[in-house]
Amino acid sequence: MPGDGPKQHPCISCGKRTKADQRCFIKPGSSESYKLYLQHLGLSVNCENYVYVTCLNCYTKFYKSIKKTSKETEEDYEPPAKSLKSDVKSPNIIPLPIVSSGKSHSSCVICKKRTSRLLTLSAERRHHIFILSGHLLLSGARCCRSHLAPDFSLKDDAIRCLENPSPGSRSVHDTSYFNKTDIFSLVTTIRAAAIRNKKNRLDFDSSDGLSDADYVNLTGISRADFDDVVSHVQSIRATKNRSIRACIALLLVKLRTGLSHRMLSTLFNIEKCGVRRAITTARRELSETFTPKYVGFDHTSREEIIQEHTTPLAKELFGSDLHNPAILVVDGTYVFIQKSSNFRFQRRSYSQHKNRPLVKPMVIVSTTGYIISVLGPYFADQKNNDASILKHNIQSNMENIKDWLHQEDVLVVDRGFRDSISFLDSLGIRCQMPAFLPKGQKQHTTDEANTLRLVTKTRWIVESVNGRLKQCKFLQNVVPNTQIPFIRDYVCLVAALCNKYRQPLNAGNPENDVILAAKMKYLASQTNKLQERVESEGLHRRVKSWTPINAADSLDFPCLSEEDLCNLTIGVYQLKLAKGYTAQHMDEEGDYVIMVNADIPDVLRIRIQSRHISSKQYLLWTEHSEGAVTGWYCQCRAGARIVGACAHVASVLWFLGYERHNNFAVRPTQDWADYLEDAAVLPDSSESEMSATEELELCH
């Protein structure tokens, strides 16, 4: 008799141990209904020595099914095999050496705690856990909610606990008993998983499917951050084609890589329509549960921005002793779209500045690079310039911006906001904007150039934020017009991910920033004495008095360190361009040629080629004494400033004071002109033309 032992008397149908008053013995010569019962379970009735045990519950279900499908008596009933519908299972009589657990319904299968608040694991989850760990959880296995992830999958630590069970545990069995249905279901699940893993290289469900570097490359965030995003999901449910994690991953991979739905369908082994539905579902869910927590004027307070997201440098440059203002940097960015067949929309979305159709979101950030809000997007025609958009934001009171901004707050903007200056002044909001170059004037004055440097020292952060947003290729590429209604959702989601999981672009250093701000404010109040000397003594007109020398010769110029160069230029951007200017000059001239004047030994004159215009060159002068650089002046647009130096001056200081003393080999950047043809260069006619006689000879 099958079973675990003669004293247990397990039921041949359900496998449970039967009690004395609930068991029936089926022996040779039993009634026809008992024989039909055995035939339904797939057991032989021809053997004369068979004795089976069944429970009354299983037999009663079978007997009721007979009565329901036929009005004949039990003795005369002979139902066809396919017409009989019964929920009686075949017996669990097939032993397999598979570790299993989970018979108890009152204790957790993981931690063995007895509690009433347990969740039953579905067959799909149990089979998935078996594939990962090799440990089979029986039907009806239950566990605590703390062991489950937000998508109701078992956490990694719980799976490790199943892989290494405590020795001597009575709830873990080395042998498991199956029926035909259980084996078929398990084999089908394993086969589907094998096919899916063979085709799907992007598996976001398993713990060892992708590395942390893969998560960063595909989604832009680490695995731990991805798990945190998934924890915000509330209403997304797993389907037979994709899990909750795969649904979120589809959206993030789409934003990060900009791949088409067809390509994502191949990578995730999901039909194209399923990819579209998954991305739509994830976008709606995260726009409601994740984005509002990390982007928007409502998600943070004004005091928090002032205290935690404002650099000491900005406070020193634009703050005041009486007020502690909020200092915001505002700028518009672009998201390119397709050309529309709606002519009215095509006209309003076409940008004369970029010469292509686009929409314009307005980005408002703090001086550390924290994205406070993204407003819009707006049209791109002449009626929607940056000044008009900012006025519309405030007058429409978007996201309660009027309550957020106070008088004496500072907005750092570029010249595109010039038409909104009077409007902001009427609200008591101070506006910091670079000065315009008056018509007919070729160079900013020293005061204008210094003020411009104070603004750009703070405003650069918004350009870096826009560059960080465009790291998502979906926003950098041309967005299909069908996605125009959702551009705001995408931009705000990327901004929320940056705020939550990316490091600040400019954290600032309190001690250094205070010193640097004091230095910049002091220099901004000074005049360029070298410029005055050049103009008063006519150094820019005395051409013959300047003699060119080779920089490799002995030249009395101070030796500068990298720290000295940063202090002189007040930034690193000009120093990054310095190497390019030096490489260009040496590539064209063969050496760095400096001009000196015997009557003025402390002043050098240098001619620099513009990097933008071939026909334009700039003259610049440097002054040094007692081993230190004391002044500089360049004829470029911003060359009169003394709060830092322009890139032309920085290149000279870097070459003469640093590179020349350290014997660095300045390597010109790669010149791709060798791979292109130049129509301006024509071959010599005397070499290219052939006589008619020579051509005929070649032909023959």
For residue range 646-666, list pLDDT tens digits in order.
999 999 999 888 888 776 655
Compute how many other C-beta atoms are within 10 angstroms of the C-beta atom of residue 313: 23
Q: pLDDT at position 665, please?
A: 55
* Per-residue pLDDT tens over the stretch 345-402: 999 999 999 999 999 999 999 999 999 999 999 999 999 999 999 999 999 999 999 9
Q: pLDDT at position 81, please?
A: 40
Phi, psi dihedrals of residue 686, rounded to the nearest 5°: -70, -25
Contact 458, 367 (CB under 8 A): yes
Q: Using a pLDDT cut of 70, give the percent of the chain over it.
A: 87
Q: Where along the chain do its domains lie?
A: 1-91, 94-194, 200-289, 302-467, 527-669
The more confident residue out of 82 and 45 is 45
DSSP class of residue 205 equals: S
Q: Which of 225-229, 315-319, 441-445, 508-512 has the lowest mean pLDDT?
A: 508-512
* Per-residue pLDDT tens over the stretch 237-258: 888 788 899 999 999 999 999 9
* Per-residue pLDDT tens over the stretch 609-633: 888 888 888 899 999 988 899 999 9
pLDDT band for position 275 (cuts 50, 70, 90): very high
Mean pLDDT of the chain: 84
Mean pLDDT comparison of 76-80, 564-568, 573-577, highest-scoring range: 564-568
pLDDT higher than 80, residue 466: yes
Q: Which of 103, 155, 111 is nearest to 133 (CA)?
A: 155
pLDDT band for position 670 (cuts 50, 70, 90): low
Q: pLDDT at position 587, please?
A: 57
Task: Report the b/e string of 561-570 with b at 16+ CB within 10 A.
Answer: eeebbeebbb
pLDDT higher than 90, residue 473: yes
Tokens of 4: 């675990």
> What angle (nearest 5°) sits at the alpha carbon of residue 283, between those of residues 281 and 288?
100
Mean pLDDT value of segment 121-128: 80
CA distance 458 to 507: 12
Q: Using a pLDDT cut of 90, give the percent of the chain over it.
A: 47
Tokens of 599: 């009557």
Q: Which of 167-171, 246-250, 404-408, 653-657 has the lowest mean pLDDT?
A: 167-171
Q: pLDDT at position 641, please?
A: 94
* Per-residue pLDDT tens over the stretch 514-567: 999 999 999 999 999 999 999 998 888 877 788 887 766 667 888 999 899 999
pLDDT higher than 90, residue 85: no
Mean pLDDT value of segment 183-210: 73
